[in-house]
Amino acid sequence: MAVIESFKIQSDLKSDSDICRIGLSDGSMFSFSSCYLPQEYRDPAFWSLGRDLGPNEEDCCRFAASCFRAERLALRLVSRAEQTTRGIFHKLLKRGFKEACAWAVISHLSGLDIVNDQRYAELWLRSRLSRGGSSPRRLLASLHSRGIDRDSIQAACKLVFTLENELALLVSYVKKKHLEPEDDLHSFKFTLKCEGFSSMVLEDYLENLESGQ
């Protein structure tokens, strides 16, 4: 049974939690964030010097320390580029963290809006729109493959796929695929609808062709 020999605590305004540094009688010393502890262990009075830690209490403390290290890694990844929930999860597992630890970190960072799949989907769609040459179906399939849930994708699409943006995407897609409505209008429409372009945008495109725009 380990005894608490040192304990320091400081507030972390960014994560709305307390960061604790604890030293035990077995020589181990580590840091953890109180948000990863069970509620009953979050009172600083619980960590009084000289107190014996039971096996379950020590396990909770070490789990919180593991989450703290995983959180720091996740924050470094996010600082470099927007991350998805699935992406963070697999990167943490690859670094040796347990699944329970990874999910606890993701839940915490999602609650702080640091990890946000809808925001990732919106930014990703805008970057692909600027490149052109793709279709809504292919773009959405790509987001699904990144582990983005349907609700987040739909919300992002509502923000990104304005009439103007979708029309520009259609124009670039038609050009890339060398599609000609004059060859077979029915097949032309069918192909574009299968690629996820809306009927409204398709009609606008054809009207613009007829008017010479």
Q: How confident is the model at residue 146 (pLDDT cuts 50, 70, 90)?
A: very high
Q: Which domain holds residue 183?
A: 117-211
Paired tokens of 158: 């509502």
- pLDDT confidence bin for 13, thresholds 50/70/90: very low
Q: 84, 111, 138: which is the final residue of a domain? A: 111
Q: Are residues 143 and 196 in the same domain?
A: yes
- Which pLDDT does position 23 carry in this prediction? 93
Minimal CA–CA distance to 201: which of 153, 168, 172? 168
Shared domain check, 130 and 103: no
Residue 54 gets which letter from DSSP?
P
Looking only at the bridges linking them, the beta strands covering 2-12 and 29-33 are unpaired
What mean pLDDT comes out for the span 50-71?
A: 93
pLDDT on residue 11: 65
Among 39, 35, 38, 33, CA closest to 9? 33
Instruction: Identify the sign of the CA torsion 108, 111, 113, 116.
Output: positive
- Listed in sequence order, the DSSP H helices in the chain are 55-80, 85-94, 99-111, 117-131, 136-145, 150-160, 163-177, 185-194, 199-211
- Are both 152 and 87 inside the same structural domain? no
Domain tally, the chain = 2
Q: Can you give the CATH number for the domain in which 63 is found?
A: 1.10.10.10
Pair (7, 39) in one structural domain: yes
Q: Are residues 86 and 139 in the same domain?
A: no
Q: Which among 159, 124, 119 is positioned nearest to 139, based on CA atoms?
A: 124
In this predicted structure, the answer to whether residue 211 has a pLDDT above a threshold of 80 is no
Q: Which of 111, 133, 154 is the last residue of a domain?
A: 111
d(CA 81, CA 83) in angstroms, rounded, equals 6
Q: Which residues of 51-68 are buried (b: 16+ CB within 10 A; e: fewer)?
A: eebeeebbebbebbbbbb
Are residues 133 and 51 part of one domain?
no
Q: Are 200 and 162 in contact (CB under 8 A)?
A: no
Task: Report the alpha-carbon distance of residue 45 to residue 101 in Å, rounded.
Answer: 25
d(CA 105, CA 89): 9
Tens of pLDDT along 79-94? 999 999 999 999 999 9
Are residues 147 and 174 located together in one domain of the fold?
yes
- Between the CA of residue 17 and those of 32, 33, 178, what are the distances in Å? 10, 7, 56
Whether 83 and 179 share a structural domain? no
Q: 16 in helix, strand or coil?
A: coil
CA–CA separation, 15 and 78 (whole Å) = 14
Does one domain contain both 107 and 134? no
Lowest mean pLDDT among 58-62, 122-126, 191-195: 58-62
In terms of domains, do 96 and 137 share one? no
